[in-house]
Amino acid sequence: MENQKPFYIYLDSSDYSILSDPRRYSHEYKIIRERLHDWVEAGDVCIFFSQVLLAEMAPITYQNEHLAQAKAELLFSLCRKNALIAPDRLITFEVEKLRGEPHDSNLPYSYDGIWFQNGTDTLPSPLARYEIIKSCLDETKNMGLNRKQRRETDRKIKKCGAARLQAQVKQQALSLSILDEEIQKNLHGYPLKKEDIIIIMRYMAGVGGAQEARAAYRRSLSDSRWIIKWMYADIKRSKDFADGIRAPGIKLCEKICQLRDSLSRFNTSDYLSNDFLNQQNRRSIEQVANALISKIGSHDTSVTINQLKEFCPGLHTMLAIFYSASKSSIQKNRNAPKSSDYVDALHAIYAPYVDVFRADSSMAPHVKQYAPAETQVVQKLNQLVPTIERLLNK
């Protein structure tokens, strides 16, 4: 495959669970893992992770930490720092295309592990430095101050003013150690590794530039293994992160169940016909898409389905798949809606941007129906290797 772009792959979250679980070690799964690793090493394929994948991996209890870490290790070894940008950033990118605004065609892909939403890696502003540094340094154990000395320090701070304080803070920042537990405690809400904490602290003290500090922040954020480990330090925070992806699906599922129950009471089947539901889905897709687009910025006219397909394929695929799954649950003799349908549809926002897209058995038919024809949708994990082999041998 010399001088040829590698094939882009997006795996289902269950794949990482199955392929990393020692209880499921089998010859078949061993072969799949080995082939994926070999193709990645050879540069034949490029496997991507996303914010949605990490949210599904986020622990919500303190149990099975070893399994979560194993999943994170597998994800990191296969994907490395290859990420597809967060859904909010991808939708913004597509809307810019729709409006004819200049855009970077490579933007959906990040090879530096930038999986997070806009603003996540924003550093504290200079205005916030004083209080952050003061609260950290005043409590730092290695200062060795007793109560009287701390009071005297506070008095001097108020007296000497910001300029002298900044000079003192800079001097103290230069002597910071990654072993200072108080510093780590004060920054516990930030997903920072020990070696990056000092760089951030020194930046906030005015020692070092913003570019270096932002690079340190991103180093920690882009390491999926570290992010999972960091989440286990605070399960509540981890649940909040996971709920940001899962909670909307639960609410939507409840509404669809209510609609399903209401329609089931009608004696006529007109409301459950394919034509009726297809029209409703089309209308809903356009309404939701236009609402999202209007939040991002003004647009002169309402966006049609065809425009969405051409300029916003990720947004269209996501919405179409969700409403397609909802339609199946509404019609008679179909499975009840699941809260995971929303998350599955959110994964599918990336289907137009990869060559091979893994989806579970219930969602794969919907993805096949609405994803671009050139995207290979794989319904079963054991079909993954043959699918990639066919692409490589073309």
- Do 140 and 180 fall within a single domain? yes
Per-residue pLDDT of 16-64, as tens digits, reads 999 998 877 788 899 999 999 999 999 999 999 999 999 888 888 877 7
Q: Residue 357: beta bridge partners?
A: 10, 377
Cβ-Cβ contacts under 8 Å for 61 (sequence gap 6 or more): 235
**Residue 176 lies inside a defined structural domain of this protein:** yes
Quick check: helix, strand or coil at residue 7?
Answer: strand
- Do 293 and 346 fall within a single domain? yes
**Residue 329 lies inside a defined structural domain of this protein:** yes
Per-residue pLDDT of 159-212, as tens digits, reads 554 455 555 555 555 555 544 555 555 556 677 887 787 787 777 766 777 888
- Do 217 and 241 fall within a single domain? no
* Amino acid identity for residue 254 in this structure: E
- Do 208 and 282 fall within a single domain? no
- Do 244 and 321 fall within a single domain? yes
**Residue 338 lies inside a defined structural domain of this protein:** yes
CB 241: neighbour CB atoms within 10 A? 19
Which residue range forms the structural domain that includes residue 175?
126-221
Q: Residue 376: beta bridge partners?
A: 356
Q: How far apart are CA 284 and CA 261, in angstroms?
A: 19
**In the chain, which stretches have pLDDT less than 70?**
1-3, 103-105, 124-145, 147, 149-189, 205-206, 246-274, 277, 297-301, 329-339
Final residue in a domain of this structure, among 197, 221, 245: 221
